[in-house]
Structure 1
Amino acid sequence: MIGAAEIVPGVSGGTIALIVGVYGHLIDGAGHLARGVALIVADGLRGRGLARASAHFRSVRWGVVLPIGVGMLAAILVGAKLLAPLLEEHPVATRAVFAGLIAASLVVPIRMVGARWRAREIGIALVAAAITFALTGLPPAGEANPSLFVVAIAAAFAVCALVLPGVSGSFLLLTVGMYAPTLAAVNDRNLGYLGAFIVGAMLGLGVFVSGLQWLLANHHRVTLVIMTGLMLGSLRALWPWQGSSNDLLAPSGDVVLVAALFLGGAALVTALIIIEHRLVARRLLAADIESDPVPDAAGHAPHRG
């Protein structure tokens, strides 16, 4: 589901991770992986060995992260073949379904914020929503034939969407004219392009995840408030009727069908939320989002929930 979301412009993989309850695990695992790789380089050059890097690698919840990674890779490979043509042939219907998914999923960060929202927090969420609304309204750039350096830089920014609900990496690529070249690289197995993209993504994760972990640990509530605003603003990119320059158009055609698809997407997310709530009630699933930037002394991530 996360991999499929990353293929669709306007849909955030981080949002899907929040919905299905694996967001905390991904943040934690990405942070440890990025620090482990950085320490391999830093400590290796200084002759300090690999003990610190190994501690971070052992703290990754591989039983969660690896299946998610395999599923994401498979979904991206399949989605590049299936979802891209679907978006081109049925853009209104496809956006309607994903708009319903995102609209219903707003309850996830709202519930995680907890107690009653204060006026200042509502204002912060609205500012974040306005910024995302403006960004998703930018017209797409012309298709580019980017250098590998530009590919890496774009990937470093786009990968932030994987850990930031409401922000779509595919949409960021679309606005700079690199969405179609990236899909083509996946379909054509262009290893040079994909290698540059992966290197840039790892660099982006290393910098961005550390900052997000710190925010979740030290400003948990306001971070979730901002996430809520980002998700709300991202709905602008999923308005079913849009022009070629992302301008919003009035409803037309089979409006009843579009509304039904929107409600169907919302119903799917609502069902997932209800299931998650029942699992939490039965203590089968952790109810909180936590980050763990420091490896456990025993070499394993501490148990939570």
Structure 2
Amino acid sequence: MWEWRNIYRGMLMGASDVVPGVSGGTIAVVLGIYDRLIDAINGFFSKEWRTHLKFLLPLGIGVVIAIGLMANLIEWLFEHYPGPTQFFFLGLIIGVLPYLTHKADVKHNFKAKHFLLLLIGAVLVASMAFFQTTESEPMQNLSFAGYILLFFSGWIASSAMILPGISGSFILLIIGVYTTVTSGISDFRIDIIAVVGAGIVCGIVVMSKIVKFFLENYTSGTFAVIIGLVIGSVFVIFPGVPEMGVMMLVSIIAFLGGLLAAWLLGRVEYK
């Protein structure tokens, strides 16, 4: 049976992937489909590919719709209301932590080594906040080397996208091609979309196999790293304490809205 409900899930994941600092993998965890997503990507290359296609295709449609239609909205929100927008996603990210700790059964399964892995994951992602992310204008006349850069940028970014806590968009910012990719999507540059898209597909396939291996063989350790990555992303996206007054009130409301959205999504999805 086709899982058309995944279209809206994909839209949420796609919208989050546009935001530097927010991971589509984190949203997949919020929606309770992260394990299934990893299994479906790996299972697509097996004899049961038709079953997994019914899960992945609607999800992919939702991601494409969100990136195509919501990229401009997200950019507008960040341009005019950056603080409240970041606080909303901050609430969304923090809202997923109770589910992760429950699923990993931290109280019973975590030992000292797992908390060390958690700390390493958190420090790894949090350190990205200190990277220089200033970009120049989008690349226009792309050379062969430019296309190679875009392909591997898509590869690396998508590897990050599938890990909760690591933002693919933020990776593109660090590499210096974020504006090139986003403007290419907005202007419907087929060459940029095709090259980056090919890199994204390759990255997702490879990283999903790695994640599946560790989830199956080192479950608690993998969850420890994932929880650490999510915690670390809080430091990346935190915009600082807003000024007193209306902006602080709006930011608090936006943060609570993010927490509420995570709770509602979890309540709907995990029933």
TM-score normalised to the size of structure 1? 0.77
Equivalent residue for 1:57, pick from 45, 49, 62: 49
Listed as ranges, the gaps of 5+ residues in structure 1 are: 37-52, 242-249, 280-305
CA shift, 1:56, in A, is 5.2
Q: Which residue of 2 aligns with 1:24?
A: 35
* Residue 135 (structure 1) aligned with residue 128 (structure 2): yes
In 2, Cα distance between the equivalents of 1:187 and 1:202?
20
CA shift, 1:119, in A, is 2.8
Given residue 221 of structure 1, which amino acid in structure 2 is its aligned partner?
Answer: S
Q: Which residue of 2 aligns with 1:70?
A: 61
In 2, Cα distance between the equivalents of 1:139 and 1:269?
30
Report matched runs for 1:76-95 at 5 Å.
76-95=67-86
- The worse-fitting range, judged by mean Cα deviation, of 101-110 and 222-231 is 101-110
Is 1:133–1:234's contact at 8 Å kept on the other side of the alignment? yes
Q: CA RMSD in A?
A: 1.7
Equivalent residue for 1:257, pick from 250, 256, 259: 250
CA shift, 1:25, in A, is 2.2
C-alpha spacing 1:22/1:128, structure 2 compared with 1 (3 Å): same
In 2, Cα distance between the equivalents of 1:210 and 1:72?
21
In 1, Cα distance between the equivalents of 2:165 and 2:85?
17
TM-score normalised to the size of structure 2? 0.86
Q: Which residue of 2 aligns with 1:275?
A: 268
What's the CA shift string for 1:134-164, capped at 9, x where partnerless? 0233120423526110000000000013311
Is 2:135–2:179's contact at 8 Å kept on the other side of the alignment? no
In 1, Cα distance between the equivalents of 2:228 and 2:194?
33
Q: Which residue of 1 aligns with 2:4?
A: none
Is 1:166–1:234's contact at 8 Å kept on the other side of the alignment? yes
The structure having more radius of gyration, on CA atoms, is: 1
Q: Which residue of 1 aligns with 2:206?
A: 207
Aligned pairs, number: 250
Helix, strand or coil at the partner of 1:258: helix
CA shift, 1:127, in A, is 1.6
* Residue 14 (structure 1) aligned with residue 6 (structure 2): no
CA shift, 1:24, in A, is 1.9
Identical aligned residues as a percent:
28
Listed as ranges, the gaps of 5+ residues in structure 2 are: 1-11
Helix, strand or coil at the partner of 1:65: helix
Name whichever structure is richer in helix by fraction.
2
What's the CA shift string for 1:145-193, capped at 9, x where partnerless? 2611000000000001331100100111111221111111111111111
